[in-house]
Structure 1
Amino acid sequence: MITTKAGTGACPECGAATVSIREALPWCAGCEWNLDGYDRARQAPEFGWPRIDRWTHRLATRLTRQQYAALVGRPLEPAGLGLAGAVTVGVSLLLLLGVAAVAAAGVWLLFAYPFPNFAIVLGLALIGLAVALRPRFGRIDPDLEQLTRQEAPELHALVEEVATAIGAPVPHVIGVDADLNAYAMSVGLRRRRVLCLGLPLWGALDGQARVALLGHELGHFVNGDVRRGPVTQPALTMLGNAADLFHPAGGTESGGLLMMVGEWLGRILSWTLSKLLFAGHLVLAATAQRDSQRAEYLADEMAARVAGTAAATRLLDVLLSGESVALVVRQAARGGQGAAAWRTGTARSLAGAAERLPLVRQLSVREDASLFASHPPAGLRHRMLGARTWQDPRVVLTDARVERIDAELARHYQRVGRIVAWSA
């Protein structure tokens, strides 16, 4: 429900009445006064210390606004590594070389001295540490239901058509799952490209919004997202893994005083090292997310190029209304209704929220701001597309083709419908 604050709720900048939805901290819808304010009651703490959380939110908001201002007035094209990307790549290379050096030192200690000797124990420990910290290149989610070309020829053809339109490579694997989401990623040493379509989201979208979703996700294969590079993707998890590795385990209650003191000192050292590694992980992640958010704007631009601006902005509104869409899908699934009912219900929900959506977009600018967010606030993404040249669709997905694709996915819709029907 939209509430308007009168009297003491007047905007001190322009004098207009402030507004609020979802019991959020009031702001001015016209000049956006107080939209950048930290709303402790509604925003999850990132560090648990109010002053630190307030400061990091203020910093994230400023960086997010600055990035938007820098990008809105110029063409969005893959522009190589910026400062944040270069720092991330440099640190990632150092981490990878460090792990390789630890492994090499361990192997050297195994053969450096005559057997038996204590150096072998140390060498095995270093090799074990290198194995624990080794880069992970990801793998295909075992819950992903992979779709072959024989099973879903229309869907594969649409994906290829969208990929061609935006100049992106075709995924090696196309699959579906039961999440209200979608993602594209490269996994393994061979960097196999994977496209996953969450059927609750895919089924709730109209034809052109589906094209926009494909354009956005396939755009991640060519938009220069630093998180997805073969060097940076594994390195971004290494410091976090190291922090977990050195996190002190529970102590023992037996032993003498000397043992207790030694264990206490060891736990202090382990705790300190774990926190330092985790702090390094946070700094590296926050740096990488600056470049990642730029890549998201570019993926939105690719969605607009292939599906049209109207469809791309409509997709963002669906994503912004995730809770409402989930409710629509759940209720329809409980009634035994399929994707056609999901689409109808979602369209009806968006139409009913048309008056409220501009405020929801504005509120996202405050609530989605974070140093660790991989995506810019949905409101700024919507605003970015609206500020750019209007684009007509290059790929048009007709209702007849939507029905053929849904027919290919009928068995998967039934399975997902049973999952979401009684989900919390």
Structure 2
Amino acid sequence: MIDTTTGTGSCPRCAATTVSLGNATPWCAGCEWNLDAYDRGRRAGEFGWAWVDRWTYRLAYRMTARQFDRLVGRPLDDHGPAAARVFTAIASVLLLGGAAALAATGVRLILAFSFPNPSVVLGVALLGLAYALRPRFGRLDADLAVLTPDRAPELFALVDEVAAAIGAPPPQVVGVDGDINAYAGVVELRRRRVLCLGLPLWGSLPAQERVALLGHELGHFVNGDPRRTLLVQPAVTMLGSAADLVRPVRSVSGGGIAELLGAALAHAVQWMLARLLFGAHLVLVSVALRDSQRAEYLADELAARAAGSTAATGLVDAFLAEESIALAVRRESQAGHGPDRWRAAVAGSRAAAAARLPLRRQLSVREETSLFATHPPAGLRRRMLAARPWHDPAVRLTDERMARIDAELAREYERIRRDVSWSG
């Protein structure tokens, strides 16, 4: 249980009493003084050096706050050219050109000389390197249980309704897994649209928040999220792959002094090259994720258009209750209960934590900020929704229809229930 602490001091800005949750560094709930503090005890290190982690956190906090301030008063579906998007696209083109040049040079060396010849060996190596650096198009997750319209007609009909409500194309693959999560993406060279619903999350949500979840995930097919586009894939994958390829591995354990010195020199060169490549990879990823966070704000807006603003804001708050959802689902699953009891237990847990929810939203702004976060902090997502025009539901899911959908998924629910019970 997370306890609220008050009386830990006075805010030097507005003189109000500061607050905290658990052992978090106190802040002012009124003016948010000290909310941007780097709380080392509650953050996992990202780089391994405390001073670097502190500096990158502060940079990320400023960038996240600046992006929120820039977007809160303008249309979120403005996909005009942004600096992050242009930079990432140019980097991808250059990286693809570099990989193509490696492959072309390899082919030329192989064809220009007869075997055996060192140039032929080098050509084969260059072709292998170009293949290793190729963009990854993704594939279906092995844990995804793919559904069919015949197997779950009510669910597919609801997905189609929500897609139509937000102007998104329907997914070509719909499946479920056992995570407290959901995702939408495109995979393979054919760029098949995939929607995955984590049943512990899906089964724990009330009806309209399920519609909001579908609206958010399907919104990724139309919100300009750079992570779903082919052009950005090289920028976010190729340099990381190159860093893995050149990372040094100690393989010399004996031999003469010359061999040991040569191995040490090679190790030093590989170490430096791997760090340089990985550093460039981090820069490209952090830049690309700025635009991904804008896309998440738009996905929330699309969720509100489909399910109504009340349901969309409730869904964002549900993400803050992930630990409570996990505990409730595990407890009820071990007792042999399914989604009806999951939903009741989660509702009770969320109601009990309602008084702390405003502080939990504020604390999320500190704790979920990172250069490498794919999503804005839940607290800022909630504020963004509250600042947008209010929406009534375009798609309404009745309790009766929700029950029919859950009945279609009974076999999958039972499998997940057993898995959750055994994992506990």
- Please state which band the TM-score falls in when normalised by the shorter chain: over 0.9
Give CA deviations for 1:187-207 in whole Å, capped at 9, x if unaligned.
011100000000000000111
Deviation, structure 1 residue 3:
3.5
Q: Equivalent residue of 1:355, what SS? A: helix
Equivalences for residues 7-26 of structure 1 within 5 A: 9-26=9-26
Q: Paired residue for 1:395?
A: 395
Judged with a 3 Å threshold, the aligned counterparts in structure 2 of structure 1 residues 421 and 78 are, in CA distance, closer, same or farther, namely farther
Code of the aligned partner of 2:407:
A
Distance 2:315 2:6 in 1: 31
| Aligned counterpart, 2:409 | 409
* Residue aligning to 1:118: 118
User: What do the CA deviations read for 1:35-72 (whole angstroms, capped 9, x no partner)?
Assistant: 00100111111112111111111110111001101111
CA spacing shift, 1:180–1:55, aligned 2, 3 Å: same
Give the 5 Å matches for 1:63-82: 63-82=63-82
Counterpart residue number, 1:61: 61
Q: Which runs of 4+ in 1 moved over 6 A?
A: none
**Partner residue, 1:129:** 129
| Residue 261 of structure 1 pairs with residue 261 of structure 2 | yes
Listed as ranges, the matches of 1:19-418 within 5 Å are: 19-418=19-418
Deviations 1:350-379 (A, max 9, x none): 111110010000000000110110100000
Structure 1 letter corresponding to 2:118 = F
1:252 shift after superposition: 1.6
Q: Secondary structure, in 3 states, of the residue corresponding to 1:356? A: helix
- Cα distance in 1 between the residues matched to 2:422 and 2:367: 29
Under a length normalisation based on structure 2, what TM-score does the superposition of the two structures give?
0.98
SS in 1 for 2:186: strand
After alignment, is 383-392 or 204-213 more displaced? 383-392
| In structure 1, distance between residues paired with 2:74 and 2:324 | 34
The separation in 2 between residues aligned to 1:378 and 1:423, in whole angstroms, is 28
Please state how far the C-alpha of 1:81 moved relative to its aligned partner: 3.3
Percent identity for Structure 1 against Structure 2: 62
Q: Secondary structure at the match of 2:276?
A: helix
**Deviation at 1:164?**
0.4
8 Å CA contact 1:339, 1:413 repeated in 2? yes
1: CA distance, partners of 2:41 / 2:300: 31
User: Aligned partners of 2:260 and 2:229: how far apart in 1?
Assistant: 46
Task: Read off the aligned partner of 2:155 and give its amino acid letter.
Answer: L
Deviation readout 1:172-218 (Å, 9 max, x if unpaired): 00000000000000001110000000000000011100000000000
1:300 positional shift: 0.3
Instruction: Letter of the 2:153 partner, please give it.
Output: P
> How far apart, in 2, do the equivalents of 1:75 and 1:227 lie?
21
2:184 is paired with a residue whose SS is: strand
Determine the C-alpha separation between the residues in 2 that align with 1:140 and 1:4. Answer: 45
SS at match of 2:35: coil
Q: Verify the 8 A CA contact 2:88 2:235 in the aligned structure 1.
A: no
Give secondary structure in 1 for the equivalent of 2:41: coil
Code of the residue aligned with 1:283 in structure 2: it is V
Shift of 1:235: 3.6
- Any conservation in 1 of the 2:235–2:285 contact (CA below 8 Å)? no
Q: Which amino acid aligns with 1:406?
A: D
Whether contact under 8 Å (1:3, 1:20) holds in the other structure is yes
State TM-score, norm by structure 1: 0.98
Conserved 8 A contact 1:330-1:422:
no
In the aligned structure 2, how far is the partner of 1:81 from the partner of 1:219? 19
Instruction: Give the C-alpha shift of residue 78 in structure 1.
Output: 4.0
Between 393-402 and 338-347, the greater mean CA deviation after superposition: 338-347
For residues 402 and 236 of structure 1, the distance between their equivalents in structure 2, rounded to whole angstroms, comes to 39
Using the alignment, how far apart are the partners of 1:294 and 1:30 within structure 2?
Answer: 26
Cα separation, 2, equivalents of 1:295 and 1:78: 10
Q: Distance in 1 between matches of 2:271 and 2:131?
A: 21
Cα distance in structure 2, aligned partners of 1:254 and 1:75: 65
Inter-partner Cα distance in structure 2 for 1:55 and 1:108 = 46
The Cα offsets for residues 124-161 of structure 1, whole Å up to 9 and x where unpaired, read as 01011111111110000111000001000000000000
Unaligned runs of 5+ in 1: none
Give yes or no for contact 1:88–1:288 (8 Å, CA) kept in 2.
Answer: yes
Superimposed CA distance per residue, residues 311-344 of structure 1 (whole angstroms, 9 cap, x where no aligned partner): 0011111111100011011111111111111111
Q: CA–CA distance in 1 between the matches of 2:350 and 2:4?
A: 19
Q: CA deviation at 1:234?
A: 4.3
Distance 2:143 2:295 in 1: 27
Contact 2:95 2:234 in 1 (8 A): no
8 Å contact kept, 2:154–2:405 = yes
Structure 1 letter corresponding to 2:99: V
Query: 1:31 aligns to what SS in structure 2?
Result: coil
Worse-superposed segment, 328-337 or 227-236: 227-236
2:72 counterpart letter in structure 1: V
Q: Quote the Cα distance in structure 2 between the aligned partners of 1:422 and 1:70.
A: 47
